Each structure stands twice: as C-alpha cells, then as structure tokens.
Amino acid sequence: MQFNFQKANKVFSIFMLLIFFVSAINLDADLSSFVKENFTLLLIIFLLSISFMLYELLSEIKAKQDNKFTFSNENKDLINKLSKLSYEEKNILSLFMSDKVQEKALNPNDQAVAWLETIKFIINTGKIEGNKKIFRIEPTLSKHLLQNPNSLY
C-alpha cells in the first residue's frame, strides 16, 4: 500500500476529533485527564492537521478556477480565429458538419485546406484516398461547431 499524506492527515484528524469527543463525555478518566493536561499541544496539532486539509481544498478550488479561465480563453481564441476565416475555409469546415463526420478526404493542394491545416483546425491523418488526403477536424472546433452551427455563416 502506498503512503498518501492527504488520506493519513484526514484519518489523523478524525482520530483527534474522537479523542476530544471521548474526553468531553468523560468516557475514560485517564484519557480525559491526559487531554486536559495537554489540551494546548493537542489543539495546536489538530489545527495544523486542519490547516493542511484547508490548503488542499483551496488548492483544488484554485486549480479548477485556473482550468476554467484557460478553457474560456482558448474558446475565445477559437471563436476569434473562426470569425476571421474566408468563405472557402468556412465552406470546407461546413463539409465536416453537414456530413456529420470527423474525417474527410480533401485536396491537400487547395489553399484553404493548407491554411486550415496550418492553423490546426484540421489535421492530416496520413491516410490517402485517391488523389486526396484524409483530414480530421480538430475535436474542440467540432464540438463548438455542433453547439454553434451559425458560426460558419
């Protein structure tokens, strides 16, 4: 079994709570007198344990907020790039959406296809179909276009 500090700290905090509870209801006279004699030290140790748990909780909340902020910025960049595409480039992306496919055979010599590949809106899979290459639409872009089909018009 691998040692996990967070889990051990939680178990320790529960243990400390049980010691304080048993002492408070005088279930064991020896334990009650020990807690009364060393209350300040036990309280400091318990508060230190709680502070580790609070730090862990606040770190998780901050990480979620940072992740949400990063995702919203990436989404704004995606929408900005999408709005600046030419008619031909939007038309190529609409082929993926109208056929409801993730992969499509496209002419790699087409300037619009080359540009979409450059800005990573489509990805060359390396497969060839006749004189065309198979391209895959970027998953985040595909999801955005499914949710906002008017983005292409």
User: pLDDT digit string (tens) for 90-141?
Assistant: 899 988 888 888 999 999 899 999 999 999 899 999 899 888 999 999 988 8
pLDDT in tens, 3-38: 788 899 999 999 999 999 999 999 989 999 999 999
Closest listed residue to residue 6, CA positions, set 38, 76, 53: 53
Closest listed residue to residue 105, CA positions, set 97, 90, 95, 116: 95
Reported pTM: 0.53
37-42's contacts with Cβ under 8 Å and 24+ in sequence apart are 42/16
CA 143 to chain CA mean position, Å: 16
